[in-house]
Amino acid sequence: MTIVFKFAEFYEQLLEYTYMYAEEGTCRLWMGVKPFLAVFRAQHVEPLLNSTKHMDKSAEYDFLHPWLGTGLLTSTGLKWHQRRKLLTPTFHFKILSDFLEVFNEQSKIFVYQLRNQTEKDIDLFPFITKCALDIICDTAMGKHVNAQGNPESKYVEAVYLMSEIVHRRQKAPWHWPDILFNTIGRGKEHDKCLEILHGFTEKVIQERQAEHKQYSDDISSENIDEKLGKHKRLAFLDMLLFAQKEAGLTFTDIREEVDTFMFEGHDTTAAGMAWASHLIGSHPDVQQKLHDEMDSIFGESERMPSKDDLTKMKYLEYCIKESLRLFPSVPMFARTITEDIEIDGKIVPKDTTAVIVTSALHRDPKYFPDPEKFDPERFTPENANGRHPYAYVPFSAGMRNCIGQKFAMMEEKVILSSLLRNYSIKSVQRRDEIRPLGELILRPDSGIRVRLTARK
Ligand code: HEM
């Protein structure tokens, strides 16, 4: 199926085509002279993601290279394998437990910031975003940027501007060549942002490196308490610095991984929490169950959640999963097909870009009857059991799945549970009044407008 693609509103057009070709579960598109295959049925997604061959990211990710280099998200081949092996232990249970402290500290600030925002219509999205940003700065770099208290941060501004510039460039083939991007495009603005972003991470890495050096070379994850002080929490950056010698990481290697975590690790969770708040605030019956769940775990206590408490938040987990079904933070992602592959009985030639459209995939009525309905019960073990494993992939799947998914679920549970323990949420927008913008992340076009009421 060949379709000429307009450039404006890429995501909305793409979704229209997925409705038109719902029967097929795939459709071929052209962006300029470049062919794409959109894939949005579980059976067709499986051979792509469950393969060790089609693991390379498509050329559109190259526009992230100036900022992220070839860190875990954008790298391929041997480099990706080595990095993934190196970084996987970074997400092990013990470290995530340490991060719980950060999530709790930041959620306290988040809830505190909202205390003067009750009984009026507010946009919750910026509050959630800044909280997520503070969390990722602390966990990835061990750096407090205090975005929640200091909205003017140049670094914070640059993170947003850069994501926006990259996304616009991806959609505009006439800005793909560097020469055109730098002359008629936003090349100058891009480079200015880059200077701020790299300047910031470089400074943080240098400071942390100096701290490690101060205690000689024998510092490791085992003796860090003794060397850096009992209360020093480990950040991803510390893990990279520990591994630096053995893995032969250069300063730039470290910077690209830190930048990658900064990019992948906060906008995604912020969008997830914002959409979840909207859906919960639009479904009083669901919210009542959540309040009951929180009350049954915490009673009158104001203590912060422990790991065990988080495990008990089953219904909240179903709500988060159902929100990510309807509004997946990463609404599409792409692979370069590295050798001919058969999908739905047809050969898709090597070098085609396959775009997995999660937003459409997650609305297949075969697996999710009445797909637009927000129904957290879809994710109870009984209801999820036996569902096609590729029908729901908000964190992608296979070897290149999201390395941060446990971190993300934990963060979302901590922040949303704090919100629910302290406030009732009423959405003041209907779902059809919010336009989801399919940029690098799925964002609401005009924020998430709610009215909060204090519960205590
Ligand atoms: C709700 C939150 C999140 C969602 C929905 C999400 C989703 C995804 C998806 C769909 C991919 C695959 C992207 C692609 O193939 O282009 C991915 C990859 C990745 N994510 Fe996440 N993510 C989330 C949170 C996080 C967090 C919190 C971190 C880090 C702290 C993170 C780090 C990464 C990295 C490094 C990759 C690349 C993995 C690789 O290629 O080996 N993500 N994520």
* CA distance linking residue 109 with residue 117, whole number of Å: 14
Which helix (H) or strand (E) element contains residue 37? strand 34-39
**What are the tokens at 369?**
């009857």
* CA distance linking residue 90 with residue 103, whole number of Å: 17
- 2 pLDDT above the threshold of 50: no
Ligand 1 centroid from CA 396, angstroms: 8
Q: Which amino acid is at 36?
A: F
Q: Is 333 in the pocket of ligand 1 (CB under 6 A)?
A: yes
Q: Which amino acid is at 46?
A: E
The 10s digit of each residue's pLDDT in 164-207 is: 899 888 888 889 899 999 998 899 999 999 999 999 999 999 99
First to last CA, the chain: 58
Q: Is 331 in the pocket of ligand 1 (CB under 6 A)?
A: no
**What are the tokens at 103?**
């999530």
Q: Is 408 in the pocket of ligand 1 (CB under 6 A)?
A: yes
Ligand 1 centroid from CA 334, angstroms: 13
Ligand 1 atom closest to residue 358's alpha carbon, by position in its atom list: 10
Ligand 1 centroid from CA 385, angstroms: 24
The candidate with the shortest Cα–Cα distance to 395, out of 316, 324, 311, is: 324
Ligand 1 centroid from CA 172, angstroms: 24
Average of per-residue pLDDT across 303-328: 97
Q: Is 265 in the pocket of ligand 1 (CB under 6 A)?
A: yes
- Predicted local confidence at residue 7, as pLDDT: 44
* CA distance linking residue 165 with residue 258, whole number of Å: 20
Q: Is 403 in the pocket of ligand 1 (CB under 6 A)?
A: yes
Q: Is 72 in the pocket of ligand 1 (CB under 6 A)?
A: yes
* Three-class SS state of 363: coil
For 13-25, letters b (16+ CB in 10 Å) and e give bbbebbeebeeeb
Give residue 344's region: left, alpha or beta (phi > 0; psi -120 to 50).
left
Chain center to CA of 361: 18
231 Cβ neighbours under 8 A, 6+ residues apart: none
* CA distance linking residue 342 with residue 27, whole number of Å: 14
Q: Is 165 in the pocket of ligand 1 (CB under 6 A)?
A: no
Ligand 1 centroid from CA 230, angstroms: 31
Q: Is 264 in the pocket of ligand 1 (CB under 6 A)?
A: yes
**What are the tokens at 426?**
């009423």
CB-hemisphere CA count at 13 Å for 72? 25
Inter-CA distances, 143 with 84, 208, 262, 294, 342, Å? 24, 10, 12, 31, 47
- Predicted local confidence at residue 53, as pLDDT: 81
The residue behind tokens 């959405």 is 427
- 8 pLDDT above the threshold of 50: no
- 3 pLDDT above the threshold of 90: no
388 Cβ neighbours under 8 A, 6+ residues apart: 42, 43, 46, 367
- 383 pLDDT above the threshold of 60: yes
With the most atoms of ligand 1 within 8 angstroms of its CB, the residue from 80, 258, 268 to mutate is 268
Ligand 1 centroid from CA 72, angstroms: 10
Q: Is 73 in the pocket of ligand 1 (CB under 6 A)?
A: yes
Cβ contact 94:106 at 8 Å = no
- What is the DSSP-derived secondary structure letter of residue 400? G
Ligand 1 centroid from CA 37, angstroms: 22
Q: Is 275 in the pocket of ligand 1 (CB under 6 A)?
A: no
Ligand 1 atom closest to residue 61's alpha carbon, by position in its atom list: 16
The 10s digit of each residue's pLDDT in 147-162 is: 898 767 788 789 888 9
**Nearest residue CA, atom 21 of ligand 1?**
402
Cβ contact 68:74 at 8 Å = yes
Q: Is 261 in the pocket of ligand 1 (CB under 6 A)?
A: yes
The candidate with the shortest Cα–Cα distance to 385, out of 395, 377, 394, is: 377
Ligand 1 atom closest to residue 83's alpha carbon, by position in its atom list: 41
**Nearest residue CA, atom 13 of ligand 1?**
333
ipTM over 0.85: yes
Q: What are the φ/ψ torsions at residue 357 (nearest 5 degrees)? A: -100, 90
Q: Is 46 in the pocket of ligand 1 (CB under 6 A)?
A: no
Ligand 1 centroid from CA 330, angstroms: 8
Ligand 1 atom closest to residue 409's alpha carbon, by position in its atom list: 1
Burial of 36 (0-12, 13-18, 19+ CB in 10 A): buried
- Does residue 27 have a known ligand-binding role? no
The 10s digit of each residue's pLDDT in 89-117 is: 877 766 788 899 999 999 999 999 999 99
What are the E-state strand segments in 136-232? Answer: none
The 10s digit of each residue's pLDDT in 219-269 is: 665 665 565 555 567 788 988 888 887 888 999 999 999 999 998 998 999
**What are the tokens at 388?**
């096609």
Q: Could you tell me the pTM of the whole model?
A: 0.93
Q: Is 260 in the pocket of ligand 1 (CB under 6 A)?
A: yes
Share above pLDDT 90 across residues of the chain, in percent, rounded to a whole number: 64
* CA distance linking residue 416 with residue 270, whole number of Å: 11
Q: Is 394 in the pocket of ligand 1 (CB under 6 A)?
A: yes
Which helix (H) or strand (E) element contains residue 449? strand 449-454
* CA distance linking residue 124 with residue 452, whole number of Å: 9
* Three-class SS state of 341: strand
Average of per-residue pLDDT across 329-340: 91
Cβ contact 68:256 at 8 Å = yes
* CA distance linking residue 258 with residue 262, whole number of Å: 6
Q: Which amino acid is at 324?
A: L
**Nearest residue CA, atom 11 of ligand 1?**
402
